[in-house]
Structure 1
Amino acid sequence: MKTPMNPTPINTTLAVRNSGFSSLVEALEYAAEGDTGFNFYDHRGELDSVLTYRELAFEARALARRLLGLGLERGDRVGIVAETDPMFHRFFFACQYAGLIPVALPAGVQLGAHSAFVNQLRRMLESCEAAVLVSPESHAPFVGEIADGLELVMAGTPAEFDALPERDIELTAPARSDIAYLQYTSGSTRFPRGVEIDQATVLDNLREIAQSGLKLTREDRFVSWLPYYHDMGMIGFILVPLICQLSADYLGSRTFAMRPRLWLKLISDNRGTISSSPTFGYALCARRLRPSDYEKYDLSSWRAACVGAEQINAAPLQVFAEALKPCGFDPSAFVACYGMAECVLAVSFAPLDNGLEVDFVDQGVMMASGEARPVDRQAGNAVGYADCGITLPGFETRIVDEAGGEVSERQCGEILLRGPSVMSGYFRDEEATTAVLDENGWLRTGDIGYRVGDRLFLTARSKDVIIIKGRNIWPNDMEVVAQRLDGVRLGGVAAFSVDGIGEEEAAVIVLETKERDDEVRDRMRHRIVELMHEHFGINVIIDLVKPGTLPRTSSGKLSRFQSKQAFLERRSMAAAKARARGSDLKTA
C-alpha cells in the first residue's frame, strides 16, 4: 500500500527571483532553499511521486559524479528518453552539474511504429554524437536495439546508472557561454536538427517569459501533460517553474490522450493557474466532457491557458470555452503565443486577460497579393488569424519579402528575429546554421506573417505555402475549411501541393475518415471539391485514408512534408498496380 503523499505547495517561503542567475545550476540551488518542486500523477490521476527542488539538487549532484566517473568529458552529450518521469529531471540537471549536454529524445512510440521509433532515436544520437543513452524502465526493451553499433560509453536505465560508484569529483559550475542543452526541432518540414542553446540564452528567454509574457507571481502553479522532448513541455513546464521557484504538476502525455479530463481535474484539484495545449488538446477535452463533469471541476483559478501553433484555429477553442463555462473557465484566460526551439521557447505573447482576438481579412486579396485587408467577420470571403501579441522586449523583429526588403503593415512576409534569446546555431551543422542565421544575427524563422501596429499575426510556414497561378494559399486555411464536414476530426486533414500531376502544380487534400461506404466517400470528395472551389477557386486532388495514416512530428504536430511523401508513395504504388493489371490483360 502506498504511503500517502502531498504535492509540493505554492511558493510561500522564498522570495521570487527570476533573474540574476549565471546558470541553470545556480537557479536550481536557489529554488532548493524553498519547499516547491515537481509532482507526477499516474494514469488514474493519483499522485505517484514528488520531487522537491531540494531533493532534485541533491540527487543531481550525486548522479553528476557517477556520470563523470565513466570518464566523460565536459561537453559530452547525454541522450535522455524524455518520459514524464522524475528520471528526466534528475538526468537533465545531473548534466548541468557535470558540464555535460543533455539531449531530450522522443518517448512516444506509435502502435506498429517500433522500427520508426528506434531509427529516429538512432539518427538523433548519431547526429549529436552522444556518449550516453539513458532510458526509463518503460522503454528498457528498446535500449539494446537503439544502442547497437553506436559508440556509446554506456546505455541503460536509471537503476543501472544509480548503481555506478559516486566518484569524489569536484563539480565545476557552468559558464554562461556553455551549452545548456540541445533541443531537437519538431521536424515538421525536414529531419530534426539539434538546436544549440547556451546558459545565457536560455536564462534570458526564461526571464522574459516570467516577467513580460506570463507575469508570474508566487501564487502561480503550473499544470502540464505536454511531452518533455517538446520545447513547450521542457522549457515551459520544467525550466520556467524552476526559474521562479514555483511548483508544477504533471500528467503523462499518453494518459492525457486516453483520459483528457484528468488534465482538468488536476487543474481543479491543485488550483493550477498556468497550463498550455495545442488546439487539438482543448478540442479533445471538449469532446470527452459529460454533463455530470460540470459540478466536478472548478477551473476559476486557470488564468493563462496558453495556445501556440503555426496558425491558431479559433473554432475548437471557442467550443472548449463554451463547454467549460459551467466549470468557471474564463475565455479571457486564453493566451495566444508564438515561439520556436531556435529562440529557446517564446517569441511573443498576446496580452493577458484579453482572451483570443482574431483579425478577419479578405481571403481573395490575401491569396492574390499577400495583403491582410480587414473585412467584417461575417463576410463570405473572410478568413481569421489569431493575434499572437507583442514580441518579448529582447527581440528585434522584421517582416521581409523574398528579396529581403521590409514590407509594410498588413503585408505578409517572412518573420526575421534577432536578440539574446536566439540560438547560437544547429549543433555541428554549419550549412544548416548559415541557411537561417546571417552574419548580423538575424534568424530566418521560415514563418509567414504580418503585423498590425506592434501585434504579430502568423499565417503559415514558408515551405508549406501552396502557389497556384501566382496566388499564395495557406494550407492551414484549406484544412480548416475541410474540417467543417461532418465526421472530419480536428487534425485529420493535410493540405499541400505536388508537381508533375497534370500541366501545373496541383493542390492535394489528404483526409482521414472511418467511412467505408463508397457512395458516402464519393459525396465527401465532391463536397470538399465544392468547398475548395467556393473558398479558394482552385481544383484539388482528394485522397481519403484511414484514421492514423497522417504522419506526425515527435511533438504531435501534423507533418505536411511527410504527408506529401506518403501521398506520392501511395500514388506510385497505385500506378504500378494499374500497369501490372494492364500487362496481365495484354498477356491474357
Structure 2
Amino acid sequence: MTGLRPRFPSILHALVEHAERGSDGSHVTLIPEPGKEVPLRYDALVESAARCAAALAEYGVGHGDRVVFCLQTGPQFVTAFFGAQLLGAMPTAISLPVSFGGAAGFEGQLKDLVDYLRPAAVITTKAVIDGLPSLSGTHVVDADALYARAMASDAPAHPVRLPKGDDLSLIQCTSGSTGRPKGVMISHANLAANCEQFVGAVGWSSEDTTVSWAPLYHDMGLITGLLCPVFSGGSTVLMPPTRFLRAPAEWLRYISTYRGAFSAAPNFAYGYVTTRVRDEELDGVDLSSWRVALCGAEPIQPGTVRRFVDRFTRWGLPATAFTPAYGMAEASLVITSTRQDETLVYDTIDRQAAAADATATDAGPQDEDALRIVDCGRPVAGTEVRVVDGEGRPLGENRIGHVQFRSPSRTVGYFDLPQETAAAIDEPDWWKTGDIGYLRDGGLRITGRAKDLVIIRGANYFPSDFEQAAETVPGVRLGAVIAVGHRPQDSDSEELHLIVETELDSELHASLRQSITAAVSSRTGVRPDGIHLVPRKSIPKTTSGKLQRSKARELFVEQAAAPGV
C-alpha cells in the first residue's frame, strides 16, 4: 500500500474545523417532505450534537459504547449520530420497519442485534417504542425528545473532544434485514482514509453540493450522502429513501434546485428514474451541475446506464457524469472508482470461456449470449486490489477469480467475531471480498458473487433471511425453502424468488403463496416476485444434504422465465 495522508484525522476533526467558517459555512439540509426544509449549518450542528451528547450521557452512554439508530433520514438522525461520536460511542444504523402493524419479525431482528452488540441505547421513533417490548439492559430513547434537547440553546452541552485515529467511529451491520448480524468495525482513521481516497478520486471540494436519497443505514448513503461532504467541507441535501420511491422526480428536481454536483445510487435507481419519471415532471429541471452520478452497491448493467444517460442528457446531464465504483462496508466504502469525466467502459466477454476456463475472452459486440461487464475503475489512492485462484495464488489480467484488497480504510474486523474476522483475511493483510472478478488495464470488473447474497435495490440480503420467514408459514416444509435472486433480461435489479416444498393440495396453493408473501414481506420488508411451490424432495441437495441454490435457481426460476416456457 502506498502512503496516504488524510487532510483530517477524523470526520469530527473536519466538522469542527469547517464549523469555524460560521455564517459562511456549509449546511446539511434535510428535506423530510416536499416544502419542508431543515437546514443545519455546520457550526450549529456542532453545538446541537454537543447538547445531544450531554443528553445521551445522562442515559449512561459513554466512550466505547454502541448506540443503535432505528430512524428515517432527518435532523434527528444527523444530530444524534455526531452526538454519539462526540461521546466516543459507535453508532450502528438499521432501517425502520416497513409498517409497524406487522412488527413481529422486526422485534426478532432488533432483539438479535441488541443481544449481539449489547448497546447502551437504542434511538428510535415513538411508534417503534410503543410497538416494542422492553429491551433489557438497553435504554430506548425517543428520537424526537432527544432532538428537542439538542436544539434547546439553554440545554447543557458535552465538551467537544476529538477522537484518536484508532478509536472506533461506527459499526456497519452487513446481515441484510434479519438473521445473525455481523458488525463491521470502522475506526476514525479507516473512515478518514476512505473519505480522502474518495474525494481525491472524484474531485469533491468544499464548493460542491451533494444531493442524496440513499438511506443513512446503508454504508453508501451514510458516507457519500453525509460523511464525505462533511469531510470535504461542502453542503449536502438529504431526502428520505421513501420519498424517492414514491416520487423519484424529486431527486432530480433537488439536484437542479440546489445545483448538486454529486449523487450516488445503486443500479436499480437509475433504471427507476428512467422509466418512472414523466417528462412533464421535469419542467424547468437543469441537470448540468451533476458532474458525478456515482453507481455502486449492486451489479451495474450497461443497458441501464445507456437508457439513463440517453434520457436525461436532454435535461443537461453531462454524458460523462455516470461514475461506476466498487466497494463494501469492510473497506469503509469505496475500493475502486472510475475518475471524473471518464466515459463508461464495459467488456463483452464470452460466457462459456468465463464459466469453463475462468477467462475473460472478448466476444463480438452483437453476441446476445455474451456477458457485459462494467469497468468499476482503478483502486483509489493507497488501496491495492488483486485477483487470486482458489488456493490464494495471484492471477494475471483477464483471469477470473476471487477479489481481494488491502487499504488503510480496511476494517479492523467484525465486532466480537474473531473467527469470522480471521477467516476473511488472507495473510498478511489481504481482505477476501467474497466477490468474483478480473482485472483489465488496471481496472476491476466484477462478474459474480462467491456467496449467494440476494441483492435487491442495492441492499444485500442473506437467503436465510427469506427462507426462515417462509418456514414460519404452516404448509411449508421446514428446511425445504431456497431463496434466490434472479435478474430478468433488461431488468435494472434482481428479483426475489422463493422455491418452496409443500405437501398441500394444489387448490390450497394460492392461499399458501399469499401467506408466504405476507410473512416474508412483514419480516424482511421485501416482497417476493415469485413463489415456486414444488413437491416434497424436489429441491436438489448435495450428497451431504446441503441445498443447492444455484441448481435450484436454474431448475425452477430460470427455466420458467425462459422464452417459450
Give the TM-score taking structure 2 as reference length: 0.79
Partner of 2:302: 314
Match of 1:402 in 2: 390
Counterparts of 1:108 and 1:241, CA distance in 2: 28
Question: In 2, Cα distance between the equivalents of 1:131 and 1:206?
Answer: 28
Matches within 5 A, 1:489-508: 490-491=492-493, 493-494=495-496
Contact 2:19–2:43 (CA<8 Å) still a contact in 1?
yes
Aligned to 2:14: 27
Alpha-carbon separation, structure 2, partners of 1:167 and 1:309: 40
- 1:132–1:152 contact (8 Å) kept in structure 2: yes
- Distance apart, 1:68 and its partner CA: 1.8
Alignment-derived partner of residue 98 in structure 1: 87
2:71–2:123: 8 Å Cα contact kept in structure 1? no
Is this contact kept in 2: 1:119–1:146, CA < 8 A?
A: no
**Percentage of matched positions with identical amino acids:** 29
How far apart, in 1, do the equivalents of 2:517 and 2:339 lie? 36
Unaligned runs of 5+ in 1: 1-17, 467-476, 502-543, 576-588
How do 1:174-573 residues align onto structure 2 when only pairs under 5 Å count? 174-185=163-174, 187=176, 191-211=180-200, 213-464=201-452, 479-480=486-487, 482-484=488-490, 490-491=492-493, 493-494=495-496, 570-571=533-534
How far did 1:222 drift?
Answer: 0.2
1:97–1:555 distance in 2 versus 1, CA, 3 Å: farther
Looking at structure 1, the residues matched to 273 and 348 of structure 2 have their Cα atoms a distance apart, in angstroms, of 27
Which letter does structure 1 place at the counterpart of 2:185?
A: E
Q: For the structure 1 residues 459 and 328, does the alpha-carbon distance in structure 2 shift closer, same or farther, using more than 3 Å as the test? A: same
Structure 1 residues 152 and 418: alpha-carbon distance in aligned structure 2, compared to 1, 3 A threshold: same
Task: Describe how 1:64-75 pairs up with structure 2 within 5 A.
Answer: 64-75=53-64
SS in 1 for 2:404: strand
1:483 aligned partner, one-letter code: Q
Whole-Å Cα distance in 1 between the matches of residues 356 and 177 of structure 2?
26
Report SS of the residue matched to 1:463: coil
Q: Which moved more, 1:194-203 or 1:165-174?
A: 165-174
Counterpart check, 1:39 vs 2:25? no
- In structure 2, runs of 5+ residues without a counterpart are 455-483, 503-512, 539-565
Aligned with 1:355: secondary structure? coil
Aligned residue identity for 1:134: I
Moved more, 381-390 or 70-79: 70-79
Shift of 1:310: 4.0
Aligned 8 A contact 1:186 1:555 in 2: no
Q: Kindly indicate whether the alpha-carbon contact (under 8 Å) linking 1:106 and 1:554 is maintained by their aligned counterparts in 2.
A: no
What is the aligned partner in structure 1 of residue 51 from structure 2? 62
Amino acid corresponding to residue 43 of structure 2 in structure 1: R
Aligned residue type for 2:381: P
The structure with the largest alpha-carbon Rg is: 1
Distance 1:167 1:276, change over 3 A: closer
Per-residue deviation, 1:356: 2.1
SS of corresponding position for 1:456: strand
Please state how far the C-alpha of 1:31 moved relative to its aligned partner.
1.4
Question: Over aligned residues, Cα RMSD in angstroms?
Answer: 3.5
Distance 1:545 1:464, change over 3 A: farther
Cα deviation, residue 189, structure 1: 11
CA distance 1:105–1:381, shift in 2 (3 Å): closer
* SS of match in other structure, 1:331: coil
In structure 2, the CA distance between the partners of 1:281 and 1:67, relative to structure 1 (3 Å rule), is same
Q: How many residues align?
A: 492
Task: Report the Cα distance in structure 2 between the residues aligned to 1:269 and 1:168, rounded to whole angstroms.
Answer: 35
1:362 deviates by 0.4
Amino acid at match of 1:297: V
Render the CA deviation track for 1:503-546: whole Å, top value 9, x for unaligned. xxxxxxxxxxxxxxxxxxxxxxxxxxxxxxxxxxxxxxxxx999
- Show CA shifts across 1:263-301 (max 9, x none): 010011111110111121111111123233454211111
C-alpha separation in 2, matches of 1:250 and 1:227: 9
Match of 2:74 in 1: 85
- Residue pair 1:133, 1:155 contacting (<8 A) in 2 also: yes
Aligned to 1:473: none
C-alpha distance in 1 between matches for 2:225 and 2:30: 12
Deviation string, structure 1 residues 408-428 (Cα, Å, up to 9, x no partner): 211111111112110000111
Q: Please name the residue that 1:50 is paired with.
A: 39
State which of 124, 136, 140 in structure 2 corresponds to 1:150.
136
Report the AA paired with residue 262 of structure 1: E
Query: CA offsets per residue over residues 325-369 of structure 1, 9 Å max, x none?
Result: 221112311000000111001001012212321111001111111
- CA deviation after TM superposition for structure 1 residue 82, in Å: 3.3
Distance 1:71 1:374, change over 3 A: same
Q: Which amino acid aligns with 1:436?
A: A
Q: Is the 8 A contact 1:66 1:161 kept in 2?
A: no
Is structure 2 residue 165 aligned with structure 1 residue 159? no
**Residues 295 and 327, structure 1, Cα contact 8 Å, conserved in 2:** no
Hey, what's the Cα distance between the residues in 2 that align with 1:552 and 1:31?
Answer: 43
Q: Is contact 1:183-1:194 (8 Å) kept?
A: yes
Contact 1:140–1:156 (CA<8 Å) still a contact in 2? yes
The 2-side partners of 1:334 and 1:277 are apart by 11
Cα gap change, 1:149/1:237 in structure 2, threshold over 3 Å: closer, same or farther?
closer
What displacement does 1:54 show? 0.7
| Maintained 8 Å contact 1:418/1:442 | yes
The 8 Å contact of residues 434 and 450 in structure 2, kept in 1 or not, is answered as: yes
Tell me the TM-score normalised to structure 1 length: 0.76
What do the CA deviations read for 1:457-516 (whole angstroms, capped 9, x no partner)?
0011101399xxxxxxxxxx9944x335xxxx6436357999x99xxxxxxxxxxxxxxx
The CA deviation string for residues 193-227 of structure 1, in whole angstroms up to 9 with x for no partner, is 1110111111001111011x211123311001010
